[in-house]
Structure 1
Amino acid sequence: MLLLAIGIVLALAQGVQAGVTRHYNFTIQSHKVSKLCSTKHIISVNRKFPGPTIHLDEGDRVVVKVTNRVPHNMTIHWHGVRQLRSAWFDGPAYITQCPIQPNQTFTYNFTVTEQRGTLWWHAHINWLRATVHGAFIIHPKPGLGYPFPKPEKEVPLVFSEWWKSDVFKVVKQALGTGGGPNISDAFTINGKPGPLYNCSSQDVFVLNALPGKTYLLRLVNAVLNTELFFAIANHTLTVVEADAGYVKPFNTNVVVIAPGQTMNLLVTANQAPGRYFMAAHSYESGQNVTFDNTTVTAIFQYQQASSSSPPVLPPLPFFNDTKPVTAFNNKLRKLATPEDPIAVPQTVDQHLFFTVGLAVENCPPGASNKTCQGPNGGRFAASVNNITFTVPTTAILQAHYFNTPGVYSTDFPFSPLVKFNYTGPSLKNLNSINGTRTKVAVLPYGANVELILQDTSIVTTESHPIHLHGYNFYVVGTGFGNYNSSLASTFNLVDPPERNTIGVPVGGWAALRFKTDNPGAWFMHCHLEIHQSWGLDTAFIVNNGKGPSQSLQPPPADLPKC
């Protein structure tokens, strides 16, 4: 007791307080919204698009009661929150929980441990994250500051989309025809398309800036299927964080952010007073891919500027220019200070090699041509190690915890079942799918894992933003072409960036390392929503370690049932 009291006194003396519990109520509901000359009902949280921003301090407990008032199943995923021993609250439908059914409630209850920065939350079922999403901001513990000068103001910038059509119909049409999906009608920044679109001259987000002051922009890419370039006209951006991990600050004129990723930037109002566009448009690395090639804008406005002066538009890279993407990502390095230590595994216990990419399934015998509109008269599919993932009807975590048979198999291959020249030019007729199944990979607690993600060119090489639930990982290497083991000598084991979502380079590979210190069932998938729907997914089961502190907690009493 004396030691405990001394510890509390010391913590208070240093300005570090114990975490508090923060309560939120989320009501999922439909409401009418008008944009781009159209009016439609959208599904959102608390009638907000984007949804409410959650603010908390590192170490706080978060309690969110979610009430579903729409005729669709629902889940909420807390993207990037590690959910240490609390996988029940991670949120992907049929992976860690059965969905919240209409007119039902579920309370997410978890503690944010050893994390700070910008993350986000979103629906994790049936493309509903198109409108059900919001920022999740973790401030440093009270008394602790940032590793950079305190900004004048912190401003979330959430990139998303406006769809005149129903996203349910979009994915249903794509899966029904076997072809690609239709695209959205506009990108948005904080729910506003900006003045470059028709009928949106007044629907624009404006950041009012004081001359000489520095602002922290918290970027979230909630777009369904598109990576983005972002810039502010005439202003230099300083990157200080990626995926809620501090990085060594560097200056840039353009930022690259993939779906699922978050990023913190500093910008100083040091130009002539005026109005400057903050602008974003697509980075699309795949060939012959239909995408939204429009530009979304918001305004960075000096307070002395006339509201009638025309804003300046920043130059952005061409939509398929991979060079600035590579240059930007190569600059990311973890801060790696005593206050923000690094723990990249120096040795490896388990080597994994996963191919990721699109594929084509042959048209089933007797099927209508209307259902086989993919390449070569087939149907689009996607796979990891030649396996197209099938979402079960019972949550994998529940089946694992209660030893329920028949929900999944544990024989997911640790290397591709079909080996070939993964980035070769002549793969159009190769059918690399080796079954559509619910397979998972089982890993022991406490293992140092190295995972190589290899893009493939069966349909087209493409940058794939791969998100791993339950873990951060260190990106120790990336490159183009086919990976081989000799490239391990080039890995950065000193200050690699720590992320939860990695854009695997187009026609290339990414090497990740992490330690399996979080038991549970953890989804890994492409954050391009259509690729996830086509099966570019898999899951890990990490077994319990020794004792309660290394074991999954019991499920909550109100866990939804399938």
Structure 2
Amino acid sequence: MKMWLGKKIIFLQTLLCFSIVGTNSHGLKEYHFVLKEAHYRRLCSSKPILTVNGQFPGPTVRAYYGETIYVNVHNKGKYNITLHWHGVKQPRNPWSDGPEYITQCPIKPGGKFRQMLIFSIEEGTIWWHAHSDWARATVHGAIYIYPRKGESYPFPTPDEEVPIVLGEWWKSDVSDVYEEFLRNGGSPNESDAITINGQPGDLYPCSKSETFKLNVHYGKTYHLRMVNAAMNLVLFFAVSKHNLTVVGVDSAYSKPLTRDYICIAPGQTADVLLHANQEPNDYYMAARAYSSALGVAFNNGITTARIHYHENHAPNKSPSLPYLPLYNDTKAVFDYYVSIKGLNEADPYQVPTNITTHMLTTLSINTFPCPENQTCAGPNGTRLASSVNNISFENPTIDILEAYYYHIKGVYHKGLPKFPPLKFDFNAEYLPLELQIPKKGTKVAVIKFGSTVELVFQGTNLVTGIDHPMHLHGTSFFAVGYGFGNFDKHKDRKTYNLIDPPLMNTILVPKNGWASIRYRASNPGVWFVHCHLDRHLSWGMETVFIVTNGEGDAEILPPPPDMPQC
């Protein structure tokens, strides 16, 4: 574990302004951030939305490598809330990780919770977001983690950094969208717009005057700190007539990769360099969805923002759109992902080769029979569900971390299968209907501290095949392989990249394919594992890994005194 460089105090509360109040009695900087329902009139609607500091996206958190900060969360909204610091490893400190009923009970309206964020190996861009129901649709923001003071980036220092937060927008209240699809058992209504920094862009007339604009100077380099905060959309992103150079993913630097487009899944982040080297003019940056599933509705619109060169030029009222791959271009997606290579010399540890814990988990869309005297909107009158190794996860009423730490029985059950309990051709075109119904339960996997883990995520074609962005809390992992069809341990391991795989925290599993990761289980605690398509998470595509304690300074820290109560 790296040495801490200092501490900073950040306050998240539900006010409608932003202010810096200086330092406290210990000389620690304090920020006041804001979180409650606020009218956000810049969008195509004046409805109130849940915000932090009245901002959408929310404020940016800035820290240095190895720093520790505190966040005081005050919930003055009308719903329960939790906040997750996505990609922050939180060594020995799962208490501040944030997922509801996994590591904490929710912060009730009027309540507060002081969270400690321990940065360790992260460097680059990650993000924070709500982790309760669908509140993260509007409650999210970027985290910038700079190199140690006095150290530099492993690439030429950019002239300016710019947040590019991609999201989705519903005209109706997102909590109503969430409650409706859970009630009827079908799919949620698709979003009304995709957004860049909170705006749908010029193609939406109501947003035209507020479209995000990046003003650039010819010859300068701009560091795009990118976040995909969309609820259910993998996105292509490009800038007209400009190449993009990816230099980091998920807060770990990578070898420079120059492309005319990138792909970014929900939960993922990227550090991207934009060189302003084209004829001075106005250019569009744009994003659109990638969606591989048959018969699944999605928002196929395009969101735009403008790049405006300061140098004199005749204003271009209608810039051309950049090339973006077709919505179903799976080859374009994985050509991009397999091209990302890690910086081995910057990795905190080597790719594990002597694996002690093997796991293979199937990721499936499922159905449950419709209860009597109800009408359900799933296929053939069923209720849609999802599962990990045929277990559709049920949240407990007491958080699992508390139950584990205090030895409270009956809250969860050990024994999540480490291999698929049902053996079949996972990606056959036609599969028996009886395979669609999963079991329900709060099953967890227990992993011994210090284990070297190989985890293969295997997609299935039950109900429909689709890609799954899988996120592990509490660790980063090496993305060592991707493939299509059923994983073959004898053949497919020969294709692994064990030399320079990227270090990530969220990996996109191909439709009817697999993705393989490796990591060392060196962070004791209770850690959530889930799909970052929120409809799949809501249906049960989630589980928990409990990493046991090591000895001495490899044990879970004690809980803070103000943990929210259930």
Shared fold by TM > 0.5? yes
Query: Which residue is 1:333 aligned to?
Result: 341
Query: Which residue is 1:523 aligned to?
Result: 528
1:263 aligned partner, one-letter code: A
- Tell me if structure 2 keeps the 8 A contact 1:17–1:141: no
1:458 aligned partner, one-letter code: L
2:468 corresponds to 1:464: yes
2:131 corresponds to 1:97: no
2:286 corresponds to 1:279: yes
Indicate which of 50, 64, 75 corresponds to 2:82. 75
2:30 corresponds to 1:23: no
Query: Which residue is 1:64 aligned to?
Result: 71
2:238 aligned partner, one-letter code: A
Give the superposition deviation at 1:307: 4.2
Distance 1:18 1:552, change over 3 A: closer
Distance 1:272 1:509, change over 3 A: same
Query: Which residue is 1:10 aligned to?
Result: none
Whole-angstrom CA distance in 2 between matches of 1:545 and 1:36: 50
2:174 aligned partner, one-letter code: V
Deviation string, structure 1 residues 425-479 (Cα, Å, up to 9, x no partner):
0026243434211010011100001101000101111110000000101111110
- Any residues of structure 2 matched to 1:136-151 within 5 Å, and which? 136-151=143-158
Query: Which residue is 2:358 aligned to?
Result: 351
- Any residues of structure 2 matched to 1:304-383 within 5 Å, and which? 304=311, 305-307=313-315, 309-337=317-345, 339-340=346-347, 342-364=349-371, 366-369=372-375, 372-383=376-387
Give the superposition deviation at 1:341: 5.0
Whole-angstrom CA distance in 2 between matches of 1:416 and 1:254: 36
Whole-angstrom CA distance in 2 between matches of 1:18 and 1:264: 24
Query: Which residue is 1:498 aligned to?
Result: 503
Query: Which residue is 2:551 aligned to?
Result: 546
Query: Which residue is 1:191 aligned to?
Result: 198
1:334 aligned partner, one-letter code: G
Whole-angstrom CA distance in 1 between matches of 2:8 and 2:541: 35
Task: Answer with 304-313 or 153-162: which moved more.
Answer: 304-313
Whole-angstrom CA distance in 2 between matches of 1:114 and 1:373: 45
- SS of 2:557's equivalent? coil
1:345 aligned partner, one-letter code: P
Whole-angstrom CA distance in 2 between matches of 1:428 and 1:102: 46
- Tell me if structure 2 keeps the 8 A contact 1:430–1:458: no
- Tell me if structure 2 keeps the 8 A contact 1:521–1:541: yes
1:395 aligned partner, one-letter code: D
- Tell me if structure 2 keeps the 8 A contact 1:17–1:142: no
- Any residues of structure 2 matched to 1:120-159 within 5 Å, and which? 120-159=127-166
2:400 corresponds to 1:396: yes
Query: Which residue is 1:210 aligned to?
Result: 217
1:376 aligned partner, one-letter code: N
- Percent identical among aligned pairs is 47
2:323 aligned partner, one-letter code: P
1:253 aligned partner, one-letter code: D
- Tell me if structure 2 keeps the 8 A contact 1:428–1:459: no
- Any residues of structure 2 matched to 1:111-260 within 5 Å, and which? 111-260=118-267
Deviation string, structure 1 residues 279-335 (Cα, Å, up to 9, x no partner):
000001111111111111111111124445432210211111111101100101101
Query: Which residue is 2:31 aligned to?
Result: none
- Tell me if structure 1 keeps the 8 A contact 2:81–2:132: yes
2:404 aligned partner, one-letter code: H
Deviation string, structure 1 residues 239-270 (Cα, Å, up to 9, x no partner):
10011111111110010000000001111111
Consecutive unaligned residues of structure 2, counting only runs of 5 or more, are 14-34
- Tell me if structure 2 keeps the 8 A contact 1:116–1:244: yes
Consecutive unaligned residues of structure 1, counting only runs of 5 or more, are 1-15
- Tell me if structure 1 keeps the 8 A contact 2:88–2:118: no
| Runs of at least 4 residues off by over 3 Å | 305-309, 339-342, 430-434
Indicate which of 542, 557, 560 corresponds to 1:556. 560
- Tell me if structure 2 keeps the 8 A contact 1:354–1:452: yes
Normalized against structure 2, the TM-score is what? Answer: 0.94
Give the superposition deviation at 1:173: 1.0
- Tell me if structure 2 keeps the 8 A contact 1:333–1:497: yes
Normalized against structure 1, the TM-score is what? Answer: 0.94
Give the superposition deviation at 1:376: 2.1
